[in-house]
Chain A
């Protein structure tokens, strides 16, 4: 085992355990914090794939901004163990079974996909994830979708300000 393999298994275990704890913990604040743990583990995976930009943007956007907003909402509404709605056992069972089926389909699809046959992930090499290459790709090949999505974000922002404005 070399260092990359050790890191891979460690990060995978961390991601899975944290993801399970998001679902299993009763307190919503704990769930949010476990979710932050998941994001950290996934960012670690990105770094192993040498996609440094995505790794750090994942942290800035999801762990640093969106999860803080989640915390804000949970704290202001004062959600805790007592206010969490208790679903009955059949609902939980049905949810678990359907999610399990979905997981099975997903795994079998990925295993059979012709695009993924006989391909291995590029560990610690490959330079497309580095920021200069990514920037060049975004602003030349994919410039139209990139700009359209930024306009989408701008309109969402303006919309939020308009809705939030007192009149």
Chain B
């Protein structure tokens, strides 16, 4: 045989990738709807309720509207990069999901199928690398638009992302000191062990820093300076229209979903169902319960994202930088030192 490849494994992973990507997109689609509904509840109004029962078809109507709009590419812009920008933003948003353990193994057709695309040795670093690549979409889009407002917003976005990555990395180091592994599957399994609490118990301060940085990395309010309407008109995607704009807006929601999954996995037990010993159940039932548990945790996090957006006003730019460099980085360093000292003292 010319190609000696394990085709079944190849097929299995391909199907898993397709499921994960479509699920991410579908959840992001309905997150846009949920965002408008949550905003409506917080502002005491009904929200979108015309398209379909309870307005459930609203995301499709929005999507159709975006696709149907005229595609405008400004004459002076760098055309290749102008098209590449939204593509990169979307790719970076979707790539993160490759290392996330969605649930325990499934037994199907006599095969044990892990519900994780790649359980690499360096899972957390992989997520970190992909997050740091997310900057390119914003920078290239903002620059290729050849618009001063867009460029300004792109530079803001990039410097914000770089600043908050630092604190995020430092808070993760403290977590790694307690887990002793970078493998996400292993981290979840540790949290599932009887007698072992979720990591949030051991790393409350680290989690706080991590969630603040996650808000900043997703460009969500109160850190949505790259798209501050009242100073920069619209931000880095000002010149975009039609589905390219849709990709930018949509990648933000995908990012929100993925960062919620990461937070649930790292700090809240991943697919662990609390107060339940999964090893007593049959493996397939446990796997399904695990996916449901993970998704419930994710929905709670997404709700928190929205809740914060509609209650806290935006920071000023210098406040943002001060918070990042002068509060979060020293706090994360202190957290790291305390964690190290405690591990040494407890003798674990």
Contact = CB atoms under 8 A, between A and B. Distances in A.
Nearest to B127: A56
A148 B190 CA distance: 35
Contacts of B158: 68, 71-72
B143 interface: yes
Interface residues of A, number: 25
B72 interface: no
A64 B125 contact: no
Interface stretch (B129-137, B208-216, B301-309, B315-323): B129-137
A65 B143 CA distance: 18
B129 A65 contact: no
B3 A1 contact: yes
Interface residues of B, number: 28
B181 to A, nearest CB: 8
Q: Give the interface SS of chain A, mostly helix, strand, loop or mixed.
A: helix
A38 interface: no
A29 B78 CA distance: 10
A72 B155 contact: yes
B121 A2 contact: no
A29 B81 contact: yes
B162 A56 contact: no
A65 B121 contact: no
A36 B129 CA distance: 13
Contacts of A56: 122, 125-126, 128-129
Given A27-B78, A52-B122, A130-B121, A2 B129 contact: no
A16 interface: no
A60 B132 contact: yes
A71 B157 CA distance: 13
Contacts of B78: 27, 29
Given A56-B125, A130-B121, A68 B2 contact: no
A107 B267 CA distance: 50
A2 B122 contact: no
A64 to B, nearest CB: 3
B3 A68 contact: no
A30 B3 CA distance: 36
Contacts of A2: 3-5
B20 interface: no
A59 interface: yes
A59 B5 contact: no
A8 to B, nearest CB: 14
Interface in A1-57: 1-3, 6, 27, 29-30, 33, 36, 52-53, 56-57
B192 interface: no
B125 A29 contact: no
Nearest to B161: A68
Contacts of A33: 81, 84, 136, 140
A36 B136 contact: yes
Interface string B69-89: 000000000101100100000
B165 to A, nearest CB: 8
Given A3-B4, A29-B143, 14 more contacts: A1-B3, A27-B78, A29-B140, A30-B80, A53-B125, A56-B122, A56-B128, A60-B129, A68-B162, A72-B155, A72-B158, A131-B121, A131-B122, A131-B182
Interface of B: 2-5, 78, 80-81, 84, 120-122, 125-126, 128-129, 132-133, 135-136, 139-140, 143, 151, 154-155, 158, 162, 182
14 contacts: A29-B143, A53-B121, A56-B129, A59-B132, A68-B136, A68-B139, A71-B136, A72-B155, A75-B139, A75-B155, A76-B155, A130-B121, A131-B121, A131-B122
